[in-house]
Structure 1
Amino acid sequence: QEASRFNETFARKLSVENVLQGHEGCVNRLAWNEEGTLLASGSDDRRVLLWHYPDSNLAPVVLKTPHLANIFGVRILPCSGNRRIVTGAMDCSVQLHVLDASPSTYARAKREQRTVRWVPDEGNEPVPLHTTKYLCHSKRVKGVEVAPRDPHVFWSVSEDGDVRQFDTRSSTQDEEESPNVLLSLKRSSAADDVELKCMAINKVRPNEMAVGAHDQYIRIFDRRMLCTGMLMVAQLSKKAEGCKSAGNHAYFEKDFAKAVRLYSDAIHYAPGSALLYSNRSAALLGRGWQGDAWFALQDSEQALRINASSSKAVYRRIQALRALGLLEEAAASMEQFEGEFPDMQKDAKRLRETIEEDLAEVRKKAELRRTHVPEGRRLLQRYMGHCNIQTDIKEVTFLGDNDELVAAGSDDGRIFIYAAKSGLPIVALEADEDVANCVAPHPSLPVLATSGIESAVRLWSPKGPAVNPDLSQEVAANQDRMRAGPSFGARLNPRLLAAITQNPELLQVIMSRTRVAGLSSEQELAGAEQDQDGPGACSIS
């Protein structure tokens, strides 16, 4: 075990062990199985290839999925004999593929060691699949995830703002109205929805789940505090309704301790009701015991996970923030609340005035003390070197048993590896001719799998000489890229840009043709604009 640790010494020796050719489009996601004997790759060609390891020269097992667009997520369900593969794609669907037999039974054909490309022959046609389609998302699915040693449960994350939970033993999860929403960041206005881009399950504590979005936040949840359900408020059972009514009576009588107890009983009978969590939050704030404000904040946020458009839950959350003394956060939430729920201006005005008075008092005292207390979580380290402005599927991951290293993809086609403690880049692997998106460490060996815009997957192992490169120029160049912002499309005709945005397949065709011509995509597309009136004019109507 000590010899298999992925440390800085191994990182400096990484070199290409093998180049896996077989896809016909960008490779957007890589995933090892728990044992490290299979590597799954999902691509724009709508196929999943299962590569064998350590004998990566065996022909891959080909899964031809029914997806209609690019695959953005792939995982192998643990403890399933490697027969259950989950995928998510641009076509808004999640799919579960079940093989008739273990992938090892199909490992017969050998690839030639030095072939430029592996080409399927008659003996390596796509294997038979039994696919279940889940059409519950309304926008692109950007990732799927599994938990250790669980062969049945998996999750999907989508740009529609939802994280959905699936169970292979359940049959009520294939429509948008299905009650399998684990959490939702949808807002009352679709324009304010938070687009979710990725998620991860903590392998040591699988109850912890992190979700990344198009904003600057990483949201961490404890799955034990979440429950699946529909976003619409369901009718309460008789027992839950009875407890709620009694709780309301106790609340109006200002017997807040009794109200908390009754609302808790109601939640026991109806754990998916946002209304009950909002009511208990109000009762906790009224009771005011030590720690009640924190639990009131938790209840309001749980209500918002169930129903993100609940005005009552948002209002209770602001009250809880004020009670905790988090006045800046309360004021910011108040401003958002007034914009989203204009019909509650009367209640909002009173609460806003109270928060403003509290803020003025706090600022006055702070000025007298001349002290400053920093807010938010403490920044432990930052890793500067890579560039991420061209794609939204780049990966970053820890390496090694003790998380000694951090690896990240980059727009310049490199995988940057950093020392976790110092934040300094120690090596940059040339992983793709265009953009390097994916980096997947082997579960037990010092081996990396990488991919990007190219159709190839590269395997890296510490078999080369140790290097100590000076990466200052690469880091500086990427910082310039970050400051300049995305360059693709900056000079495009708006009609052409709109057509590409609405038709991703068109972009693939343009990119493939420009690579053949030896031009950058910007040169080709800019040329198309400049020559619109000439004999080679390119027009889109």
Structure 2
Amino acid sequence: METVHKGSELGIIEIFRRERGFSDPRTFARRISAAEAIVKQIDLYGKLKGHNGCVNTIQFNSSGDLLVSGSDDQKIMFWNWATKTLEFLYPSGHLDNIFQVKIMPFTDDRKVVTSSADGQVRLGQVLDNGKVKTKKLGEHQGRVHSLAVEPGSPYVFYSCGEDGFVQHFDLRSNSPRKLFSCSSFADTKQSPRIISLNAIVIDPRNPNYFAIGGSDEFARVYDVRKYLSDCSGNLDAPVNTFCPHHLIETKTVHITSLAYSNTSELLVSYNDELIYLFQKNMGIGPYPLSIPHEDLQQLEEPQAYSGHRNLKTVKGVSFFGPRDEYVMSGSDCGHIFIWKKKGAKLLRVMVGDRRIVNQLEPHPHMPVIATSGLEKNIKLWAPLSNDVLPLPRNIQEIMESNRQGRENNSPVTLTPELIMHVLQLHRRRAMAHNERRHNRSDSESDEGGDEAYVLGLSGDDENSSECNIS
């Protein structure tokens, strides 16, 4: 194996600077955490066992000494992750699987907001006697996959649900405020539809802006000031949108997760597609369907991250490192993938679950990661190995299997041009069939065979009465 000293130039430089007194302990810790060799030393630290269902959500508190989790068992658990011990637990009051748990800042970890498949958004408050009081804060019509807490605020957070609504919560008020219902962009072909929402994140550099993603291809960015100051209506009016150019109007993908970096880069994970990193200048405006094709081609394409597969569950995506130097995601193949953010080089692949890895949570100050999936435990990862660990020997087979599964699952997009082409082809084949019957000839139509094969038409020429597109 490659030893740690061979691939850790940055680490050696930082150690030298620390020994010479050129960097303070906090700066040294942050810089050494970004070293590529440190990422390649990450290995399993331990498991947290206690939930009786899939663990769908995990979060470190701001100091990083506690980890909170929520599960299908409808319980909230607080862990001392370093000692791998359960501090305390409480029943959330939810009636279905918990999808999200967030600790409110500056509350001494005593206020926790949660959301669930039952549509409820709830508050758990730890009292002085150690008991926990829970209450319902609001509700959606359908599952609530995501919550977003305003940075530095002990009161304000947002929820988004499968009903398409974005709600604004302030713990100082009695009820939430429905900001708007997200709908698809109107075109001449069909009327707008409700977008079922899976993710909401707040820009850390400007908390007035938040992004949402759901059951279409567009990540939308909104300015909350427009809704809190304007009481005239709940119009769905994003200030910007982001989407890879080749996915616009595909109608075959949706967004499962979003993440903002500390410099306002937007990371977007698509269902059974790839992960994309957007810079702020890559937005396509509030009306993406109105952009001329030639103008779209002039815009810079986002960085893409591939190798994993995101089909069977609503997976998260996250940055990692003190300055968000890395990108990480779970996968249907049960592995954890870590890429270098710049250039998308795959650095580390680890087995994180026997089936599917869903959530990855980076520690706020240390090169430590918590992960969860379909198993009932939480796994902890830290740079413990004495060697720089290589990628798995079968990494090419893993990635190729994920790629083939993704491509085989991709449906054909039925554009009007394709539908018209198939109908014309079918009509020509029918005319040729009738002509053969009339002439009692076995000659084939000169346009039927090859095109039918490319489009995946089933059945033989004489017995097929309809064409099927695979």
Q: Given the two structures, how large is their TM-score scaled by the length of structure 2?
A: 0.65
Correspondent of 2:90 among 32, 55, 63: 63
SS at match of 2:139: coil
Q: What does residue 106 of structure 2 align with?
A: 79
1:93 aligns with 2:120: yes
1:460 aligns with 2:381: yes
Deviation at 1:128, TM superposition (A): 2.4
Residues 98 and 117, structure 2, Cα contact 8 Å, conserved in 1:
yes
Select the structure that is richer in strand. 2
Q: What does residue 402 of structure 2 align with?
A: 478
CA distance in 2 between partners of 1:382 and 1:474 (Å): 18
Call closer, same or farther: CA 1:90–1:298 in 2, change over 3 Å: closer
Deviation at 1:191, TM superposition (A): 8.7
SS at match of 1:481: helix
CA distance in 2 between partners of 1:417 and 1:397 (Å): 10
Q: What does residue 520 of structure 1 align with?
A: none
1:14 aligns with 2:17: no
Q: Name the count of aligned residue pairs.
A: 333
Q: What does residue 261 of structure 1 align with?
A: none
CA distance in 2 between partners of 1:381 and 1:328 (Å): 20
CA distance in 1 between partners of 2:379 and 2:298 (Å): 39
CA distance in 2 between partners of 1:153 and 1:325 (Å): 27
Call closer, same or farther: CA 1:53–1:377 in 2, change over 3 Å: farther
AA aligned opposite 1:198: A
Alignment of 1:272-283 (within 5 A): 272-274=231-233
Percent same amino acid among aligned pairs? 31
Correspondent of 2:372 among 451, 461, 479: 451
CA distance in 2 between partners of 1:168 and 1:272 (Å): 20
1:183 aligns with 2:180: yes
Deviation at 1:447, TM superposition (A): 0.3
1:363-407 Cα shifts (integer Å, max 9, x gaps): 9xxxxxxxx443485223100111001012x11111112221100
Residues 29 and 438, structure 1, Cα contact 8 Å, conserved in 2:
yes
CA distance in 1 between partners of 2:134 and 2:42 (Å): 38
Residues 160 and 186, structure 1, Cα contact 8 Å, conserved in 2:
no
Correspondent of 1:142 among 137, 145, 151: 145
CA distance in 2 between partners of 1:171 and 1:16 (Å): 44
AA aligned opposite 1:27: V
CA distance in 1 between partners of 2:110 and 2:151 (Å): 16
Deviation at 1:226, TM superposition (A): 3.1
Structure 2 unmatched ranges of 5 or more: 1-26, 242-283, 411-470
Q: What does residue 378 of structure 1 align with?
A: 300
CA distance in 1 between partners of 2:399 and 2:45 (Å): 26
Call closer, same or farther: CA 1:65–1:298 in 2, change over 3 Å: closer
Residues 221 and 240, structure 2, Cα contact 8 Å, conserved in 1:
no
CA distance in 2 between partners of 1:215 and 1:439 (Å): 24
SS at match of 2:113: strand
Call closer, same or farther: CA 1:163–1:35 in 2, change over 3 Å: same
SS at match of 1:475: helix
Call closer, same or farther: CA 1:168–1:16 in 2, change over 3 Å: same
CA distance in 1 between partners of 2:286 and 2:218 (Å): 18
Deviation at 1:140, TM superposition (A): 0.6
Deviation at 1:227, TM superposition (A): 2.1
Call closer, same or farther: CA 1:328–1:84 in 2, change over 3 Å: closer
1:400 aligns with 2:321: yes
AA aligned opposite 2:119: C
Deviation at 1:53, TM superposition (A): 3.8
SS at match of 2:388: coil
Structure 1 unmatched ranges of 5 or more: 106-126, 174-179, 229-270, 279-296, 302-323, 332-358, 364-371, 487-541
Call closer, same or farther: CA 1:483–1:136 in 2, change over 3 Å: same
Residues 147 and 157, structure 2, Cα contact 8 Å, conserved in 1:
yes
Deviation at 1:473, TM superposition (A): 2.0
1:329 aligns with 2:289: yes
1:89-123 Cα shifts (integer Å, max 9, x gaps): 0000000010114xxx9xxxxxxxxxxxxxxxxxx
SS at match of 1:10: helix
CA distance in 2 between partners of 1:328 and 1:215 (Å): 13
Call closer, same or farther: CA 1:55–1:425 in 2, change over 3 Å: same
CA distance in 2 between partners of 1:434 and 1:325 (Å): 39
CA distance in 2 between partners of 1:190 and 1:374 (Å): 24
Deviation at 1:80, TM superposition (A): 0.2
CA distance in 2 between partners of 1:373 and 1:186 (Å): 25
SS at match of 1:215: coil
Call closer, same or farther: CA 1:215–1:80 in 2, change over 3 Å: same
Deviation at 1:16, TM superposition (A): 1.0
Deviation at 1:10, TM superposition (A): 1.5
Q: What does residue 346 of structure 2 align with?
A: 425
Correspondent of 2:62 among 34, 51, 66: 34
CA distance in 1 between partners of 2:201 and 2:358 (Å): 16
AA aligned opposite 1:98: Q
Q: What does residue 280 of structure 2 align with?
A: none
AA aligned opposite 2:208: N
Deviation at 1:408, TM superposition (A): 0.6
Residues 7 and 405, structure 1, Cα contact 8 Å, conserved in 2:
no
AA aligned opposite 1:71: I
Q: What does residue 442 of structure 1 align with?
A: 363
SS at match of 1:42: strand
Deviation at 1:132, TM superposition (A): 1.8
CA distance in 1 between partners of 2:191 and 2:369 (Å): 39
SS at match of 2:29: helix
1:425-484 Cα shifts (integer Å, max 9, x gaps): 111111111100000000010000000000000110001121122522211111112123
1:192-216 Cα shifts (integer Å, max 9, x gaps): 2100001112233322212121211
AA aligned opposite 2:401: A
Alignment of 1:2-401 (within 5 A): 2-4=28-30, 5-56=33-84, 58-101=85-128, 128-173=131-176, 180-186=177-183, 192-227=193-228, 271-274=230-233, 329-330=289-290, 372-375=294-297, 378-392=300-314, 394-401=315-322
Deviation at 1:134, TM superposition (A): 2.8
AA aligned opposite 2:194: D
CA distance in 1 between partners of 2:90 and 2:239 (Å): 44
AA aligned opposite 2:182: L
Deviation at 1:148, TM superposition (A): 2.2
SS at match of 1:406: strand
